Chains A and B, each alone.
Chain A
Amino acid sequence: MNLSYLFDAAHWDLSAPGGFPQLILAHLGYVALALLIGTVIALPVGLYIGHTGRGSFIAINSGNAGRSLPTLGLLMLMVTLLGLGLTPVLIALTVLVIPPILTSAYAGMRTLDHRVVDAAKGMGMRPWQVLFKVEVPMALPVLMSGLRSAALQVVATATVAAAVGLSGLGRLLIDGLAVNDYSRVLAGAIVVAVLAVLLDLFLALVQRWIVSPGLIGRAQSRPRRVTT
């Protein structure tokens, strides 16, 4: 076992079929789609449950249920039901990302300072203004941590796409194992790990950019430099 596959320049050629660039792109495509669909479904539900307090058992239990569901098994079931293709893969990955996003949206809303929300209502904000101008901005740090944890999980698990004939970095693992090319398997594992770290760093930057400095430690010790 060695790193020769990873460092073979031919595998990094942009146009090489089955090369790293194309596999990474496909892999990120699955990740992005799953996160997008998962967020569109889980975020509103989590915000609603957190805002109203109704159905909180869904938010709490979905986290545990989702974590215990084997993605590979779910994928095989979906393929059996729907046939090969992108859809069963996306369903399996979306089921994986929903729990952390749902749970964090719920938790973010439940832990808000109710006095601030009370003040917002008392000042004459309409319910949707309270939600989008006060509650969501205040819950953003918790929301973002849920999104980051979902992203980490899905970037590792998206390798299952290769098990049902799709692309992505899972190809290196499946094909490498099939032909006993352990250098290829190792390369796949390393690239997945590096991708996960880079994605988390990227989301950390996004978080820093969209979360108000007033909500994090940065603002408490020294005043933010005034930009005019």
Chain B
Amino acid sequence: MITFEDVVKVYPGGSTAVDHLSMELPTGKTTVLVGPSGCGKTTSLRMINRMVAPTSGRILIDGRDVAGQDEALLRRGIGYVIQHAGLFPHKTVLDNVATVPMLLGKTRREARTAALELLERVGLSAEFAKRYPAQLSGGQQQRVGVARALAADPPVMLMDEPFSAVDPVVREGLHREFLRLQKDLGKTIAMVTHDIDEAIKLGDHVAILREGGHLAQFGTPQELLDQPVDDFVAGFVGRDRGLRSLSFDTAADLPVRPLTSAEDAELVLDDAGRPLGWRRGGAGPLEPTAGVFTTDDSLRMVTDLAITSPVGVAVRVGADGKADGLVRHHDLVDFLAARRDRRAAERGA
């Protein structure tokens, strides 16, 4: 756990970067610091590994004040990923990744063997090992940057805008791999981004900071979307936050109707019971279903299916692919209204 205790950072000249920040970043979770430029998010991150010294207040990692520890040893125990990766241009990819293990006293051979495994882990084949950073694309460099930060298997990782220097398609892929890796590794991660969508997608918790280094709100992505504490947070998380918040609920509790319940349209199944499409009015051409959902999919996806379906009905399938229920537009509206009332009651109680 990383704890900020009333941390203040005032730069020489009097500008306040971080203003009485207190928060806890839980162990094994990803906490994303997000906010507009000048909100002190990067300064806050860099105070964790003492790249920046706080003016007052304390930062503790698992209860130990970072200020009391040897700077270099502290940093070797914390993975550090920065924008543009910051790879050493004069070293091969393999030696870049082997850096921290060698600082920690591993032999070159041991460090390189471990580095090779890590490269594979972040999705780079062994052929990249002997290349130099200048020979890699931006996305590949960023993967090497992540591998380098993971090399000594640190429990804590700091990531400063790790995915902002690559194009959207590559970023999407890196996001997926980040989530997959983090699911396996369970590191305590503090990440900085200016992109609220990235924060909501990758963070278990999100800290929204505002100009002048104030913490506006700290919570799970869903809490921020459902209950923004003020207009600043509401504005920052965006206009379609209602729709986005549906991404965090699965369709597990959503009631379905029997397959035969669709009005003036018939769901046509194949021999195995899998949906083929819709046929309207007992005759006419088969129209595609626009997709199906399972109980693991999000309410947002169900909503999307109901909107795009030719007959306004989303089709649920079981794990075996057999159709087992239907959801109509107004079923969703009723369900969401009931959910809203229930939550309001919970909050009131």
Contacts and interface: CB of A to CB of B under 8 A. Distances in A.
B43 interface: no
B322 interface: no
Interface residues of B, number: 34
A119 interface: yes
B75 interface: yes
A124 B72 contact: yes
Given A121-B75, A125-B72, A212 B91 contact: yes
B2 to A, nearest CB: 16
Given A214-B90, A219-B132, A223-B131, A118 B76 contact: no
Interface in A110-141: 113, 115-116, 118-126, 129, 134, 137-138, 140
A120 B72 contact: no
Given A118-B82, A125-B103, A220-B135, A214 B89 contact: yes
Nearest to B158: A122
Given A116-B87, A116-B88, A215-B89, A123 B135 contact: no
Counting chain B CB atoms within 10 Å of each CB, the highest count among A211, A219, A220 belongs to A219
A224 interface: yes
A122 B71 CA distance: 9
Given A115-B82, A223-B130, A124 B89 contact: no
A79 B88 CA distance: 49
A210 to B, nearest CB: 11
A213 interface: yes
Interface string B46-85: 0001010000000000000000000111111110101111
| Chain A interface size, under 10 / 10 to 19 / 20 to 34 / 35 or more | 20 to 34
Given A214-B132, A220-B134, A223-B131, A123 B100 contact: yes
Contacts of A214: 89-92, 132-134
Interface in B73-121: 73-78, 80, 82-92, 99-100, 103
Interface of B: 49, 51, 71-78, 80, 82-92, 99-100, 103, 130-135, 148-149, 158
Given A116-B88, A119-B80, A219-B131, 16 more contacts: A113-B86, A115-B84, A118-B51, A118-B86, A122-B158, A123-B99, A123-B148, A123-B149, A124-B75, A126-B72, A212-B91, A214-B92, A220-B135, A223-B130, A223-B131, A223-B135
21 contacts: A118-B82, A118-B86, A119-B80, A119-B86, A121-B51, A122-B75, A123-B80, A123-B99, A123-B149, A124-B75, A124-B103, A137-B90, A140-B90, A211-B90, A212-B90, A214-B89, A214-B91, A214-B132, A215-B90, A220-B135, A223-B130
